Amino acid sequence: MTHPSFATHEVFNQSPPFEDVDLFTVDQPLVDAVAAHGGAAAGTELFEFGQHWGSAAMAARGRIANENTPKLRTFDARGVRRDEVEFHPAYHELMARSAHAGLHNSTWTAEGRPAGGAAEVVRAAKFYMAAQVEAGHLCPITMTRASVAALAVQPDLLAQTMPLIATRAYDPGFAPWWTKRGMTLGMGMTEKQGGTDVRSNMTRAISDGDAYRITGHKWFMSAPMCDAFLVLAQADEGLTCFFMPRFAPDGSVNAIQFQRLKDKLGNRSNASSEVEFVGAYGMRVGDEGKGIRTIIQMVQLTRQDCAIASAGLMRSGLAHALHHARHRSVFQKHLADQPLMQAVLSDMALHVEASIALVMRLCRAFDLAPDDANEAAYMRLLTPAIKYWVCKSAPGFLYEAMECLGGNGYVEEGILARHYRESPVNAIWEGSGNVMCLDVLRALSREAEAAQAVLQHLAAEARGLPGAGEAVAFIGKAFGRPDSERVARLAVEKLALLAAAAALNRVSPHHAELFGRTRLAQDHAAMYGAVDFATGDIRGLLERALP
């Protein structure tokens, strides 16, 4: 008996998968921003990275790692504590590829000093591309890289751990860190009663010989299979930073007991635990009572990574939207040729081009800061402002990108639904929006002279762009008000926009002009595409975004 055929129709007018593309070369704004900030010599390395991460195989790993979420194994069959989290092999593969490319360490020398040159810029380009494929696994990658800045205040500990952090091997085995081929580090600061206000931490550290015994809880502690965590706890002299390894020096499993894993909106390939320390072994990092000072450099680096990753998510949204619009016809005409869709896509392309120019400008400041006081001041003032603006713009942007694909954008087979669910987290963790605004105010008041010099420099770089003069005046006035905290969001957003215009002016002056016209001289409309760009400008923006 013959079965009826299910092939009732031919599938056509669907865009092919946006895979097996070189994520670097197709992204002219990225290529130009890297070159503008000293990274041109790494072109081949970045091309190879972009080709690998843009492959269909890597896209599949990203999807599988998010569909098969990590599982907490609290006890074994006999009721003995295990406190292990199991990840799908696809997650381990992503970790191994990121480690192989040095995303967790390439901004440091083997001794843990800033690598210099364009190390920050080159790594940021890779981080930006990796975020386009899978962002969850970047959490332990970024924490490992940032932890070196905190360990630097405890040179003996840095000297012991750096040989392992500096390798490009990823070793997922559950074993004492000193027996492994490479190691990862996480952070435990947030408690139930406070994440922003870590001074309210209740976790207690009692001195025990050369080390400490730590008892308490953490309400969020991500990537729980890291080999060690930097943990804040109250010691006799006040809040202090500790290095808490998964295994105690005698080789026994440290008393780090996971209660459960968070059920999160996005970021699902990454595990985030609730955890209790039951007299867990820890070593002091920095002086007692100096916990916040110890972690502050580290937090700058994770904030920088939040901005890079959010820019990467938006870039991916733009690339998928543009790719789809060039293949999909509606009313006998490709979407990419419909004037209204062109307005939407070009306005989005301008936002991404400005975001990557700004993020790379910031990374250049991180590269130069150790030897250049002005760049160090730029870094301190602009890191929170850039994290604020870039990260908070991502969810709205990704929603619009999704809509460009119509119904296909909303389903889980595509990557945009995942990006959309991922996008709010970078604004929330590592200092939420208001906290970033308060941080800008703090930098302005603590280092008033250096901060004023940065503002003057930005004004000079943006001079002549539409709205730049008014923006400079607005920022000066708003930050000068006695109630500046109340208007901090207004002022910080304007500061980020001015910095973005200045950064874009170095890379693509004509697009900086368009940016000034639509974002500085007037408030940008709530929706993308509510702009009036000339046909040539639309073509220029979209050709640069994706040839």
In 3-state terms, what secondary structure has residue 43?
A: helix
Among 435, 441, 453, 490, binds ligand FAD (CB under 6 A): 435
* DSSP state string for 248-289: -TTSSBPSEEEEEE---SS-TTS-EEEEEEEEEEEEEES-TT
In whole angstroms, how close is the CB of 187 to ligand FAD at the nearest point?
5
For residue 528, count other CB atoms closer than 10 A to its CB: 23
Instruction: Give the strand pairing for 228-235 and 185-188.
Output: parallel
Site for ligand FAD in 3-22 (CB under 6 A): none
Shortest-Cβ-distance residue relative to ligand FAD:
195
d(CA 184, CA 243): 12
Angle at 349 between CA 344 and CA 353, to 5 degrees: 155
Question: Of 185 and 350, which CB lies nearer to ligand FAD in the complex structure?
Answer: 185
Question: Of 187 and 440, which CB lies nearer to ligand FAD in the complex structure?
Answer: 187
Q: Kindly list the distances between the CA atom of residue 437 and the CA atoms of 152, 211, 433, 489, in Å, as whole numbers in the listed order.
A: 27, 37, 7, 6
In whole angstroms, how close is the CB of 29 to ligand FAD at the nearest point?
29
Is residue 60 a contact point for ligand FAD (CB under 6 A)? no
Is residue 312 a contact point for ligand FAD (CB under 6 A)? no
Close Cβ partners of 249 (under 8 Å, ≥ 6 residues apart): 281
**Between 379 and 418, how does the x/- string for binding to ligand FAD read (CB under 6 A)?**
----------------------------------------
**Between 488 and 527, how does the x/- string for binding to ligand FAD read (CB under 6 A)?**
----------------------------------------
| Cα within 13 Å of Cα(162), Cβ side | 20
Among 36, 121, 151, 221, binds ligand FAD (CB under 6 A): 221
Q: Which stretch binds ligand FAD (CB under 6 A): 119-127, 154-162, 193-201, 240-248?
A: 193-201
Site for ligand FAD in 64-83 (CB under 6 A): none
d(CA 436, CA 506): 26
Question: Of 102 and 424, which CB lies nearer to ligand FAD in the complex structure?
Answer: 424
In whole angstroms, how close is the CB of 114 to ligand FAD at the nearest point?
24
Q: Which of 200, 296, 295, 303 is nearest to 243 (CA)?
A: 295
Task: Give the torsion through C-alpha atoms of 18, 23, 25, 26, to 10 deg.
Answer: 40
For the chain, count helices (H), then strands (E): 19, 11
For residue 259, count other CB atoms closer than 10 A to its CB: 14
Question: Of 438 and 521, which CB lies nearer to ligand FAD in the complex structure?
Answer: 438
In whole angstroms, how close is the CB of 226 to ligand FAD at the nearest point?
9
Sign of the dihedral defined by the CA atoms of residues 504, 510, 514, 517, in that order? positive
Question: Of 48 and 197, which CB lies nearer to ligand FAD in the complex structure?
Answer: 197
Question: Of 34 and 295, which CB lies nearer to ligand FAD in the complex structure?
Answer: 295
In whole angstroms, how close is the CB of 486 to ligand FAD at the nearest point?
10
DSSP 17: P
In whole angstroms, how close is the CB of 196 to ligand FAD at the nearest point?
3
**Sites of contact with ligand FAD (CB under 6 A):** 186-190, 194-196, 220-222, 264, 267, 272, 425, 428-429, 432-435, 438
